[in-house]
Amino acid sequence: MTRLRGVARDALAVLVAGMGLSCSPQAQTPTVGSRIAPGQALPPAESAEYRQVQQRLAQGWNTWDVHSVITQVLLPEGLAIHAGLKHNTTEGSDAFLQDALIGRLIPGAEQVTPGPHSWEGSYTDLRVAWHGHEWRMQSAHDGSDVVILATPLPGNRESALPPAIIFTVDFLWNRPGTTMRRSDFIEAQSPAGSIPVFCTCAPAGSEPAREQIDMPTGGSWFSANLTGPVGVSTGKRRTLGEIEAAIDSQRQAYEDSIHAVGKNGPIVDAIETTLGWDTIYEPSRERVVSPVSRVWSVGWGGYVIFDWDNFFAATMAGIGNHDLAYANAMETLREATAEGFVPNYARGGEWKSFDRSEPPVGAISVLGLYRKFNDRWFLEDAFEPLLRWNRWWAAHRDIDGYLAWGSDGENLPANLDDDSRGTRAGAILESGLDNSPMYDTAAYNAQKHVLEYADVGLMSLYITDCEALAEMAQVLSKPEIERELKDRAARYRVKLSTLWSDQEGIFLNKDLHTGQSSTRLSPTNFYPLLARAATPEQAHIMIEKHLLNPDQFWGQWVIPSIERDDPAFHDQDYWRGRIWGPMNYLVYLGLCNYDDPAARQEFAQKSYALFLKEWSEHRHVHENYNAISGTGDDVRNSDRFYHWGALLGYIEYLEANRTEK
């Protein structure tokens, strides 16, 4: 999600002075002597059960390297086989594609069309187009080995010369190991032993070809003109036919697993593939995690974990890989700040949004996974950080008995490049709805560090959070904490009830600065359904009068992030009118709490139809979608492979399973 920035230079100067830093008169941004955030305590100790989860995940060959989807890495050794393409010309336009990412939009960038990616990396398939060259990259497990196949496809070549495929072998993340080019293979040596790597471009017993290629790569490498299929294998030499047979076997196994789930197959394929390509190994904490996309993570120092984004990734991973589901939930919680809240973002270098959080959806995500898998240790591991976060909201975001978004700019360490902290902009960013028109006129209270704006969505999510935690407390035999949580939920439920408008037939946000209710409606106005805060009669009115109203939220593509008759709807810019998977998902969960099956089923079908449009046509999973045309490609600030877009399909998955019970 784009994180918009405000300006607060005076607050920045105060924070800098408090940290003992200095700015030169010419400098606009103060500097520090280390790239690592100072004063950061280590994350809490892992339980033995969770350490085993990470150990099970971080094994074998997979696309672990965040920088390229065409690199295969063996864990725990860190041995990498990088695929690159050399564009050759007879004049001055040579180029080398060393890394490839899905959805990169810079001019001249490679275009990657992702194919299937199994959870554990046993089968991967994608296509790349670059400089007029098009080729297919496939990989498969063959026992403990990996095989890789590069196949040229018809394209519009920009040069008369053929491109060269380059396979470089080295060790990542400063892991110990060496590689050496032998006569017809590459020997990789690590403390765990020796692994030979073979290429069909080097026939058995042959001497290395005289390769006149100068490339910005390290390690040992193979090369071949990509005029026909080229294969790489580890462990033992394989012919091209043997490599193709191993890949075909794993491809068939993947397709069989998708066919086995019946009508849920397309969405299971989409979720498994999306999370498969987005899952990486993050070496600074030695963990497997699924950031929102590789394009985002590369720009944020190697990884970026956004709060509600990654909790939703955990939820979706639960359909096929409970270890990955646990990892995404726990790693998000393990990023909690010293104040006890899960930050809006956590990125490479231990930098975080130390001033603000994001929507509290952690407890419902964790409880959902517990209900599915019944691992008590997981509930025990997650409960304390979730409880601290829950208590933090009431202590730091309460204004006049309501809950509001905020930003505590004085929190240390200060993220010096984030000039939105301690500002109105930072408080809006805490909502996760970065430029929502709901907050266009909201005032920021600098003393209380919150927007003077009673937020229906936040209060509903918080009540739901309290009740989910109360259920966990009951399971864990913590009766005093259970009562505390139920009492807090009841208190805010009473305050939320005061935001109901008989005239408008919906819960309305309230500007606490002016005392006026806001009639600008977004999907968050339906979140009281999630909290069961609406009476059955109120729920019926909300659904009939607003949700199913084509002038507001209904239509071919549902549901927009601001109602259709709002002046901001036609902006179709991020949260100003576009459709977002998490909003649809939370509204759907709310509909499940009330007896209106027709509306719920059609809502699920429409959400799925929107998702399938881009998935079927382009294999895109968009961060957000145009509410008028149903596309995600009309703007540049909608990531093409952002995993929470798959929530639009996950809704139908839930609905299908619900109706089959």
Q: What is 449-478 written as a DSSP string?
A: TEESEE-HHHHHHHHHHHHHHHHHHHHTT-
- The more confident residue out of 14 and 256 is 256
Neighbours of 399 (CB within 10 A): 17
User: Within 13 Å of residue 470, how many CA atoms lie on the same side as its CB?
Assistant: 15
- Cβ atoms of residues 326 and 47 within 8 Å: no
The answer to which of 145-159, 197-211, 284-298, 335-349 has the lowest mean pLDDT is: 197-211
User: Among all chains, which residue has been given the structure tokens 């100003």?
Assistant: 576
Per-residue pLDDT tens digits for 415-434: 889 999 999 999 999 999 99
pLDDT at residue 659, as a whole number: 57
Is the pLDDT at 27 greater than 60? The verdict is: no
Is the pLDDT at 599 greater than 70? The verdict is: yes
The percent of the chain in helix, strand and coil, each rounded to the nearest 5, is 35, 20, 45
Q: Which two tokens stand for residue 607?
A: 């959400």
Q: Tell me the H-state helices in 504-633.
A: 536-542, 581-591, 597-618
Report the mean per-residue pLDDT for the chain.
93
What pTM value is reported for the model?
0.94
pLDDT at residue 33, as a whole number: 77
Is the pLDDT at 41 greater than 90? The verdict is: no
Provide, rounded to the nearest whole percent, the portion of the chain with pLDDT above 70: 93
The b-or-e profile of 275-302 (16+ CB within 10 A means b, else e) is bbbbbbbbbeeebbbbbbbbbbbbebeb
Q: Which two tokens stand for residue 511?
A: 């500007």
- Cβ atoms of residues 270 and 646 within 8 Å: yes
Is the pLDDT at 207 greater than 90? The verdict is: no
- Cβ atoms of residues 102 and 641 within 8 Å: yes
The pLDDT confidence band at residue 59, using thresholds 50, 70 and 90, is very high
Long-range contacts formed by 263-267: CB under 8 A, 24+ apart: 263/656, 264/653, 264/656, 264/657, 266/612, 266/615, 266/649, 267/608, 267/611, 267/646, 267/649, 267/650, 267/652, 267/653
Q: Does domain 59-258 match CATH 2.70.98.110?
A: yes
pLDDT at residue 423, as a whole number: 97
Neighbours of 140 (CB within 10 A): 28
Domain range annotation of the chain:
59-258, 535-661
User: Within 13 Å of residue 224, how many CA atoms lie on the same side as its CB?
Assistant: 20
pLDDT at residue 34, as a whole number: 84
Q: Which two tokens stand for residue 168?
A: 């470089």
Q: In DSSP terms, which residues pair with 225 in a beta bridge?
A: 164
- Cβ atoms of residues 579 and 555 within 8 Å: no
Neighbours of 384 (CB within 10 A): 13
The answer to which of 34-48, 197-211, 521-535 has the lowest mean pLDDT is: 197-211
Query: Strand, helix or coil at 131?
Result: coil
Per-residue pLDDT tens digits for 442-468: 999 999 999 999 999 999 999 999 999
Element (H, E) at 220: strand 220-225
Over range 370-379, report the average pLDDT.
Answer: 98
Reference 8, options 449, 430, 358; nearest CA is 449
pLDDT at residue 211, as a whole number: 57
Provide, rounded to the nearest whole percent, the portion of the chain with pLDDT above 90: 88
